[in-house]
């Protein structure tokens, strides 16, 4: 009986692996194949071209440059705030911190548009400044500049960096600092000898994460930068979709995959250093009483509020204000399907597509992610391999995935090219690492003695799963579900490749609307972005609330 | 609770799916984003044939062709319209079309046919050429350029906005015009020319919309700062048509001197493996019908390939057709397009 | 009722159990005593069915239970960290095993109440286990393992995380509860006082082996080896060749001394006056130190040869630094082979 149960477990364990092999490894191998054997024969001309052309080297250099710049600016802003936040408590701190993570789940198209609405040529700020100083030109010229790309990357990554560093600092506590103070350390040596060395692992970890996100940034650069600011990602897309140079796109993808792999390896090694006890030291925070402390705290809160709310409010304002008047016509037009539009379906129908795909991807990613987490935790021969393996999709850009899908999955037996299934599948793949990363800590936090106690109390393996593991994983699962859902809702890079006809998702629709000449489409894209913003925020809230109410009800 | 929400959503989905499953015969037209034709005309086609028409736009002409090639095992549509002579070879080489010889071909000049295989059928053409703001040139007294070379002169410093050929179809056409004029080898190639244009402060943007509505300055619009733009020979009638006071006469002009324009011919073809090939053929015939051809100028600002169609007044009055557009062999375009564009990007974008 | 025969177990290269043989009688409390890492927890886990990779036999009432999975054994196991289910209330923790047995709600409710009463936690049913004190957690864990009426109760360092003051009293209380329930139990601890208080029989373990398996008094009075003696805190252990103490162990050499490497002079076998028992030696010593423990003295004295002797006596009419004669009973001198 035990033998049979083991066999069954092996089959279950193999499900996520099989999924990964078919929908990740196989498409990637197809890319590799295409890059080194473009016409069926071994041919490295794609690589030769890549490595011998200044232009593509320039793309690579620029990718690294903008990522480094984004990382630097993000850390520079987040580091002081992390110290302030770890140090002081104030009312609404946790709300603010969780609100600050909102950008992380916001789709790139929405964010790009939000910044266009705020800082763009016809943006709110330009309008306001022009009206204020009666200018006949736009004082802020940020469209298609590196500056706006960096600003948006900071918007995206600020909260991530802030949270990593704040939680690390809170866990470390300030006792060392106080000890140093007692030993006569002045402010300068506190920074030099205590604070900076202490925060270094978190700084490194946050920095790498921001670097990785900026390195793979696609939608933001595609929409706000254009081809002049092409990163590897954008270049892959251009080469595949515009130039139809698939071997070159494949070669670029390979460079991308290898770079990301290297970055991920470095990142996971820094993660190990970060594994601190998660004991909370709330008692160590204090109220900001001195004027300096209040100023520091106020600046940080102000920075977050400005960074977070200004663009989103601008987006909402732009979508409902037409010539200074409140007008919901932009929204009403979303429900109409017209043949004159750029889309095969009414824009609003894409909301339904997105919701449907997001739910499917969420369910699939939850189930596969849960099994994969157990596999990783099983400490078997497979598990050592499984951990990095399941993180690979995170290290692979969505654009590369989408590209791999369309070149690999268009022949029997996996003829998914024309099927809508390809979208939830690609989203599942992208969401899977998020689910695993959310579930794994909860899973690891369950002491094995709990399961053993249940066992000695007569619980069968299935009982243990249902009565011990799942309830205790509730929070991790809910967090994973949130991630999967929002990641799927906002997924852009892969969808742009694979979404077809009736199955287009909200971000793809927004992108298509932006590209359409004419003011009406622009307004429609704003309205659509607001819809996506609301759907994402709504989904986020819904799952958060289900999580609170639902623990123990599985 | 959670699972209830999920199952309800799936239930809604299931009913929606079954509702959309009941379909009449339809033809899906794969086309580029600029496709436009009147709803009335499409409805008349639907009424006559009983075939419903769905339009599937897939980016610009290049993206559309690439999409069609990438999905040729599972065609996304039945008909592909909008592939032009700059991308035709790619489409033909990938064998995405099934041959169809429309009876209406007899109304079309043979010069429009790319070859004698009938894999694609010409529908319309247009010329990419320089447009200018008449007011600027009148007020400043600047002479219009008589050749592409003139654009490198001081008089045109900072006046022109062009498009990136990697991302824009008129951009590519204009690049091809410069290649036809200056060649890609020799002492002074098209790259040297662009280098000079760059020195003369030409502005390059990604798309036609950005260029025309964003950077091009014309009387009556408060956007943009440059009085010359790469656009179409048919843009001046469009400008008149859309201006707030159409009676005021020409606002912009097109420069159609010899070898200064590049002609784009757009084709339609039945996609190989189409779900509804018969309907697809009917749609091709429909695109060559007098009614459709007559609507082309005012909907897509292109010229019909049928010579027996009368042009609308505004076209007759304001549109110029170049007598000797530049031309580059379609096969040569296909062979060298990527290299040309890439070399161009290296000169212009770095 | 329980028989463990020649059980061996290893974690990879590290051998944790070596040919362990033990028995447990019906209604008996067996205490596994030993330093941490001696294999006692591993042995518990093997009995509970949580470890499956081992050699040897585990039999319950004569039947081999090796293939039986843990959840079918109906053995209660109380974990060192209590392993309370953090997502369940006190009552739900206790009811967990009852629910697995498929009992109806009403009977579960009654049983939970009576257990709460028995462990002295009335009224805490709905409390969150995280909010309990260490002692309360220990009681919930006990009640939980008692709830399904286990055939055998196992307790792994149940008082380990509590402070020393509480332990003595709680150990007795635990014994009372186990005996009242009429259970057979295996109790793991590293604390000899706790073991004396709880156990009917002791098994002293070291490095994966059972060194001595006997009643607590016997283990104390007649440790089987130098390890046991040392573990029980006895210090008068000398090498047989130690010339300083050659005169202390008496003249008679019998079989027990062949191969002996060390010997113990039991601290309770020394007195300040010749007792009835047969004497091994009489030695003149100087008192180094004496501590009154209430009812007896723990004292240290050194011989002229330089050997230091610890002993316990009821009365000590000498002051530190004074010299006196110490009488060593022959029984108190025990040769060991280790």
How confident is the model over A295-313, as pLDDT tens digits?
Answer: 888 888 888 888 888 888 8
A272 at B interface, C-beta within 8 A = no
Residues of B in contact with A553 (CB under 8 A): 1-2
Q: Measured between CA atoms, how close is C158 to chain A, in angstroms?
A: 14
Identify which of B9, B13, B74 has the shortest CB distance to residue A418: B74
Identify the pLDDT of residue A551.
35
Q: Rank A238-242, B2-6, B148-152, B310-314 by mean pLDDT and report only the highest.
A: B148-152
Give the rounded percent of residues in chain A with a pLDDT score beyond 70: 87
User: Cβ distance A44 to A36 under 8 Å?
Assistant: yes
Tell me how far apart the alpha carbons of residues C184 and C178 are, in angstroms, rounded to a whole number. Answer: 8
Which chains reach chain B with 3 or more Cβ–Cβ distances below 8 angstroms?
A: A
pLDDT digits (tens, 9 = 90+) for B55-66: 888 877 888 888
Q: Measured between CA atoms, how close is A475 to chain C, in angstroms?
A: 11
Q: Is B226 helix (H, G, I), strand (E, B) or coil?
A: strand
Mutation to test the A interface, candidates C41, C44, C45, C70, most A Cβ within 10 Å: C70
| Identical topology for domains B24-125+265-311 and B126-262+320-348 | yes
Q: ipTM of this complex > 0.90?
A: no
Does residue A342 have a pLDDT over 70?
Answer: no
C167 and C308 share one domain: no
Matching CATH number, B126-262+320-348, of 2.40.128.110, 3.40.190.10, 3.30.930.10, 1.20.1090.10: 3.40.190.10
Identify the pLDDT of residue A11.
82
Give the rounded percent of residues in chain B with a pLDDT score beyond 70: 91
Does residue A94 have a pLDDT over 60?
Answer: yes
Higher-confidence residue of A419 and A551: namely: A419
Pairing of strands A414-415, A410-411: antiparallel
Task: Check CB contact under 8 Å for A453 and C50.
Answer: no
Number of residues assigned to chain A: 554
Higher-confidence residue of B13 and A167: namely: A167
Task: Check CB contact under 8 Å for C87 and A551.
Answer: yes
Higher-confidence residue of B120 and A329: namely: B120
- Residue C153 to residues A457, C5, C39, C129: CA-CA distances in angstroms? 11, 19, 18, 22
Q: List CB contacts of A529: < 8 A, sequence separation 6 or more.
A: A109, A110, A113, A114, A315, A319, A510
Number of residues assigned to chain B: 350
Residues of B in contact with A516 (CB under 8 A): 33
- Residue showing tokens 């109409």: A336
Q: Of C226, C254, C273, which residue is a domain's last?
A: C226
The mean pLDDT value of chain C amounts to 90
Identify the pLDDT of residue B225.
84
Identify the pLDDT of residue A38.
74
Q: Measured between CA atoms, how close is C145 to chain A, in angstroms?
A: 7
The mean pLDDT value of chain B amounts to 87
Give the rounded percent of residues in chain A with a pLDDT score beyond 90: 15
Task: Check CB contact under 8 Å for C79 and A453.
Answer: yes
C210 and C279 share one domain: no
Identify the pLDDT of residue A278.
40
C221 and C265 share one domain: no
Omega cis (within 30) before A413: yes
Does residue B141 have a pLDDT over 70?
Answer: yes
Distance of CA A517 to the CA centre of its chain: 29
Q: List CB contacts of A49: < 8 A, sequence separation 6 or more.
A: A56, A248, A251
Q: Of C207, C226, C245, which residue is a domain's last?
A: C226
Does residue A456 have a pLDDT over 70?
Answer: yes
Average pLDDT on A85-105 reads 76
Does residue B12 have a pLDDT over 60?
Answer: no
Identify the pLDDT of residue A303.
87
C182 and C153 share one domain: yes
Least confident of A232-241, A317-326, A357-366, B157-166: A317-326
Mutation to test the B interface, candidates A243, A363, A508, most B Cβ within 10 Å: A243
pLDDT digits (tens, 9 = 90+) for A49-71: 778 877 788 889 999 999 999 99
Identify the pLDDT of residue B8.
53
Average pLDDT on B325-339 reads 87
Does residue B22 have a pLDDT over 50?
Answer: no
Average pLDDT on B329-335 reads 86
Identify the pLDDT of residue A339.
60
Q: Measured between CA atoms, how close is B67 to chain A, in angstroms?
A: 7
Tokens, residue A549? 């109410």
User: CATH number, domain at C238?
Assistant: 2.40.50.140
pLDDT band at A543 (very low <50, low <70, confident <90, very high): low
Residues of C in contact with A469 (CB under 8 A): none
Which chains reach chain C with 3 or more Cβ–Cβ distances below 8 angstroms?
A: A
Tokens, residue A540? 């986020």
- Residue showing tokens 């989904």: A539
Tokens, residue A195? 């604070």
Identify the pLDDT of residue A1.
44
Tell me how far apart the alpha carbons of residues C1 and B40 are, in angstroms, rounded to a whole number. Answer: 94
Q: Rank A57-71, A140-154, A399-413, C279-293 by mean pLDDT and report only the highest.
A: A57-71
Which residues make beta-bridge pairs with C270?
Answer: C328
Residue A183: enclosing H or E segment and its boundaries? none
Residues of B in contact with A407 (CB under 8 A): 70
Domain enclosing residue C17, as ranges: 2-226
Pairing of strands A88-89, A286-287: parallel
C327 and C301 share one domain: yes
Q: Is A114 helix (H, G, I), strand (E, B) or coil?
A: helix
Q: List CB contacts of B30: < 8 A, sequence separation 6 or more.
A: B56, B58, B64, B67, B68, B75, B76, B77, B79, B80, B81, B271
Does residue C173 have a pLDDT over 70?
Answer: yes
Average pLDDT on A331-337 reads 68
**Per-residue three-class SS string for chain C:** CEEEEEEEEEECCEEEEEEEEEEECCCCEEEEECCCCCCHHHHHHHHHCCCCCCEEEEEECCEECCCCCHHHHCEEEECCCCCCCCCCEHHHHHHHHHHHCCCCHHHHHHHHHHHHHHCCCCCCCCCEHHHCCHHHHHHHHHHHHHCCCCCEEEEECCCCCCCHHHHHHHHHHHHHHHHHHCCCEEEEECCHHHHHHHCCEEEEEECCEEEEEECHHHHHHCCCCHHHHHHCCCCCEEECCCHHHCCCCCCCCCHHHCCCCEEEECHHHEECCCCCCCEEEEEEEEEEEEEECCCCEEEEEEECCCCEEEEEECCCCCCCCCEEEEEEEHHHEEEECC
For chain C, how big is the Rg over CA atoms in Å?
24
| Eight-class DSSP state of B326 | B
pLDDT digits (tens, 9 = 90+) for B239-260: 888 777 766 788 899 999 999 9
pLDDT band at B4 (very low <50, low <70, confident <90, very high): low
Average pLDDT on C181-198 reads 92
C159 and C267 share one domain: no
Identify the pLDDT of residue B15.
46
List chain B domain ranges: 24-125+265-311, 126-262+320-348
pLDDT digits (tens, 9 = 90+) for B165-175: 987 888 999 99
Does residue B119 have a pLDDT over 90?
Answer: yes
Tell me how far apart the alpha carbons of residues A246 and A36 are, in angstroms, rounded to a whole number. Answer: 11
Q: Is B108 helix (H, G, I), strand (E, B) or coil?
A: strand
Tell me how far apart the alpha carbons of residues A410 and A407 are, in angstroms, rounded to a whole number. Answer: 6
Identify which of A241, A352, A501 has the shortest CB distance to residue B76: A501
Exposed/middle/buried for C159, CB within 10 Å: 0-12, 13-18, 19+? buried
Which chains reach chain A with 3 or more Cβ–Cβ distances below 8 angstroms?
A: B, C
Average pLDDT on C130-134 reads 88
pLDDT band at A516 (very low <50, low <70, confident <90, very high): low
User: Cβ distance B252 to B62 under 8 Å?
Assistant: no
pLDDT band at C107 (very low <50, low <70, confident <90, very high): very high
Angle at C300 between CA C294 and CA C301, to 5 degrees: 135
Mutation to test the A interface, candidates C74, C77, C147, C153, most A Cβ within 10 Å: C77
CATH topology of domain B24-125+265-311: D-Maltodextrin-Binding Protein; domain 2 (3.40.190)
Which residues 448-487 in chain A show a CB within 8 A of chain B?
none
Task: Check CB contact under 8 Å for C76 and A457.
Answer: yes
**Domains: count for chain C:** 2
C132 and C80 share one domain: yes
Tell me how far apart the alpha carbons of residues A115 and C108 are, in angstroms, rounded to a whole number. Answer: 61
pTM exceeding the 0.80 threshold for the entire prediction: no
The total of other beta-carbon atoms located within 10 Å of residue B57's CB is 23
User: CATH number, domain at C8?
Assistant: 3.40.50.300
Distance of CA C128 to the CA centre of its chain: 32
- Residue B230 to residues B35, B36, B172, B326, C265: CA-CA distances in angstroms? 20, 21, 10, 15, 110
C71 and C158 share one domain: yes
C220 and C240 share one domain: no
Q: Of C226, C249, C274, which residue is a domain's last?
A: C226
The CATH number of the structural domain formed by A15-36+53-333+350-550 is 1.10.3720.10
Tell me how far apart the alpha carbons of residues B288 and A458 are, in angstroms, rounded to a whole number. Answer: 80
Higher-confidence residue of B100 and B1: namely: B100
pLDDT digits (tens, 9 = 90+) for C233-256: 898 999 988 888 888 877 666 777
What is the distance in angstroms between the CA of the first residue and the CA of the last residue of chain B? 57
Q: List CB contacts of A13: < 8 A, sequence separation 6 or more.
A: A371, A374, A375, A378, A382
Least confident of A44-48, A322-326, A437-441: A322-326
Does residue C141 have a pLDDT over 90?
Answer: yes
pLDDT digits (tens, 9 = 90+) for B122-139: 999 999 999 999 999 999
């Amino acid at each position: 009986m035990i033998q049979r149960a083991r066999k069954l477990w092996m089959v279950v364990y193999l499900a996520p692996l099989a999924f990964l092999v078919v929908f990740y490894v196989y498409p990637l191998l197809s890319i590799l194949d295409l890059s080194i054997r473009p016409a069926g024969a071994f041919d490295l001309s794609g690589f030769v071209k890549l490595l011998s052309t200044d232009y593509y080297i320039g793309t690579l250099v620029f990718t690294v440059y903008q990522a480094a710049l984004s990382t630097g600016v993000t850390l520079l802003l987040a580091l002081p705030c992390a110290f302030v936040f770890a140090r002081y408590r104030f009312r609404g701190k946790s709300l603010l911190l969780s609100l600050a993570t909102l950008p992380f789940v916001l789709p790139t198209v929405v964010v790009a548009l939000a910044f266009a609405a705020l800082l763009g040529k016809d943006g709110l700020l330009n309008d306001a400044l022009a009206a204020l100083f009666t200018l006949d030109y736009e004082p802020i010229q940020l469209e298609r500049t590196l500056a706006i790309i960096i600003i948006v990357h900071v918007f995206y990554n600020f909260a991530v960096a802030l949270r990593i560093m704040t939680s690390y600092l809170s866990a470390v506590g300030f006792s060392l600092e106080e000890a140093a103070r007692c030993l006569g350390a002045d402010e300068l040596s506190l920074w030099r000898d205590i604070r900076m060395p202490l925060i270094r692992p978190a700084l490194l970890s946050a920095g790498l994460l921001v670097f990785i996100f900026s390195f793979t940034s696609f939608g933001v650069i595609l929409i706000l930068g254009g081809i002049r600011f092409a990163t590897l990602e954008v270049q892959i897309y251009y080469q595949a979709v515009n130039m139809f140079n698939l071997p070159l796109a494949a070669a670029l993808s390979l460079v991308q995959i290898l770079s990301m792999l290297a970055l991920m390896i470095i990142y996971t090694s820094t993660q190990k250093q970060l594994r601190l006890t998660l004991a909370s030291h709330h008692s160590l925070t204090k109220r900001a009483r001195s004027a300096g402390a209040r100023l520091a705290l106020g600046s940080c809160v102000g920075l977050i509020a400005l960074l977070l709310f200004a663009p989103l409010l601008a987006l909402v304002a732009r979508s409902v204000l037409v010539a200074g008047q409140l007008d919901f016509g932009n929204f009403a037009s979303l429900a109409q399907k017209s043949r004159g539009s750029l889309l095969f379906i009414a824009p609003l129908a894409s909301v339904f597509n997105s919701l449907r795909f997001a739910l499917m991807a969420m369910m699939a990613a939850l189930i596969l992610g849960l099994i994969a987490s157990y596999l990783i935790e099983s400490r078997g021969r497979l598990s050592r391999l499984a951990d990095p393996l399941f993180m690979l999709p995170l290290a692979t850009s969505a654009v590369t995935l989408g590209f791999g899908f369309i070149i690999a999955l268009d022949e029997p037996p996996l003829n998914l090219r024309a099927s809508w299934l390809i979208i939830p599948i690609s989203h599942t793949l992208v969401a899977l690492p998020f689910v695993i990363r959310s579930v794994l800590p909860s899973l690891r936090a369950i002491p094995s003695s709990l399961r053993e106690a249940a066992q000695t109390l007569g619980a069968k393996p299935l009982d243990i799963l249902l009565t011990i593991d799942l309830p205790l994983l509730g929070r991790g699962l809910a967090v994973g579900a949130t991630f999967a859902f929002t990641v799927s809702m906002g997924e852009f890079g892969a969808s742009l490749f694979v979404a077809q006809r009736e199955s287009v998702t909200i971000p793809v629709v927004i992108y298509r609307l932006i590209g359409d000449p004419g003011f009406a489409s622009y307004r429609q894209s704003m309205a659509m972005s607001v819809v996506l913003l609301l759907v994402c925020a709504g989904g986020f809230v819904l799952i958060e609330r289900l999580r609170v109410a639902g623990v123990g009800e599985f | 609770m959670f699972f209830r929400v999920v199952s309800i959503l799936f239930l809604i989905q299931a009913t929606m799916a079954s509702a959309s499953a009941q379909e009449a015969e339809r033809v899906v037209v794969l086309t580029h984003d600029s496709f436009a034709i009147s709803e009335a005309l499409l409805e008349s086609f639907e009424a006559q044939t009983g075939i419903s028409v769905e339009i599937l736009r897939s980016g610009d002409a290049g993206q559309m062709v690439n999409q069609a090639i990438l999905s040729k095992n599972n065609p996304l549509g039945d008909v592909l319209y909008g592939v032009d002579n700059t991308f035709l070879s790619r489409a033909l080489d990938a064998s995405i079309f099934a041959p169809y010889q429309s009876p209406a071909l007899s109304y079309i000049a043979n010069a429009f046919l790319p070859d004698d295989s009938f894999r694609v059928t010409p529908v319309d053409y247009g010329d990419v050429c320089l447009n200018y703001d008449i007011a600027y040139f009148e007020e400043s007294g600047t002479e219009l350029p008589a050749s592409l070379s003139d654009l490198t002169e001081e008089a045109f410093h900072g006046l022109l906005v062009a498009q990136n050929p990697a991302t824009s179809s008129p951009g590519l056409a204009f690049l091809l015009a410069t290649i036809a004029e200056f060649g890609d080898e020799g002492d002074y190639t098209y790259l040297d020319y662009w280098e000079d244009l760059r020195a003369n402060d030409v502005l390059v943007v990604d798309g036609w919309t950005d260029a025309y509505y964003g950077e091009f300055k014309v009387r009556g619009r408060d956007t943009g700062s440059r009085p010359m733009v790469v656009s179409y020979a048919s843009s001046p009638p469009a400008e008149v048509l859309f201006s707030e006071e159409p009676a005021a006469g020409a606002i912009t002009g097109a420069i159609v001197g010899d070898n200064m324009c590049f002609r784009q011919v757009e084709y339609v073809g039945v996609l190989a493996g189409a779900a509804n090939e018969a309907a697809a053929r009917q749609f091709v015939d429909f695109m060559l019908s007098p009614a459709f051809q007559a609507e082309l100028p005012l909907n897509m600002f292109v010229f019909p390939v049928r010579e027996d169609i009368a042009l609308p007044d505004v076209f007759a009055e304001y549109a110029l057709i170049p007598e000797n557009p530049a031309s580059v062999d379609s096969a040569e375009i296909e062979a060298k397009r990527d290299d040309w564009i890439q070399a161009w990007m290296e000169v212009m974008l770095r | 009722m329980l028989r463990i025969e020649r059980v061996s177990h290893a974690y990879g290269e590290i051998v944790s159990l070596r040919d362990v043989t033990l028995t447990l009688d019906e209604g008996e409390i067996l205490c596994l005593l030993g330093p941490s890492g001696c294999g006692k927890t591993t042995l518990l886990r093997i009995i509970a069915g949580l470890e499956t990779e081992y050699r040897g036999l585990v039999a319950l009432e004569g039947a081999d239970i090796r293939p039986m999975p843990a959840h079918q054994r109906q053995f209660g196991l109380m974990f060192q960290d209590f392993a309370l289910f953090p997502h369940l209330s006190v009552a739900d923790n206790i009811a967990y095993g009852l629910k697995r047995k498929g009992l109806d709600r009403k009977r579960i409710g009654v049983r939970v109440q009576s257990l709460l009463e028995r462990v002295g936690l009335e009224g805490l049913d709905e409390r969150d286990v995280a909010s309990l004190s260490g002692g309360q957690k220990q009681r919930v864990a006990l009640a939980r393992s008692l709830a399904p009426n286990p055939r055998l109760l196992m307790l792994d360092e149940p008082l380990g995380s509590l402070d020393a003051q509480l332990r003595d009293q709680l150990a007795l209380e635990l014994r009372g509860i186990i005996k009242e329930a009429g259970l057979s139990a295996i109790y793991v601890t590293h604390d000899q006082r706790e073991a004396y208080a709880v156990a009917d029989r002791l098994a002293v373990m070291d490095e994966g082996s059972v060194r001595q398996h006997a009643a607590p008094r016997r283990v104390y009075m007649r440790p089987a080896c130098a390890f046991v003696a040392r573990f029980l805190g006895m210090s008068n252990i000398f090498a047989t060749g130690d010339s300083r103490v050659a005169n202390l162990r008496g003249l008679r050499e019998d079989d027990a001394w062949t191969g002996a490497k060390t010997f113990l002079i039991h601290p309770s076998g020394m007195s300040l006056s010749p007792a009835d028992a047969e004497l091994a030696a009489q030695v003149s010593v100087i008192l180094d130190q004496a501590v009154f423990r209430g009812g007896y003295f723990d004292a240290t004295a050194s011989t002229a040869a330089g050997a230091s002797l610890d002993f316990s006596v009821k009365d000590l009419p000498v002051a530190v630094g004074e010299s006196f004669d110490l009488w060593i009973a022959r029984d108190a001198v025990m040769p060991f082979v280790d």
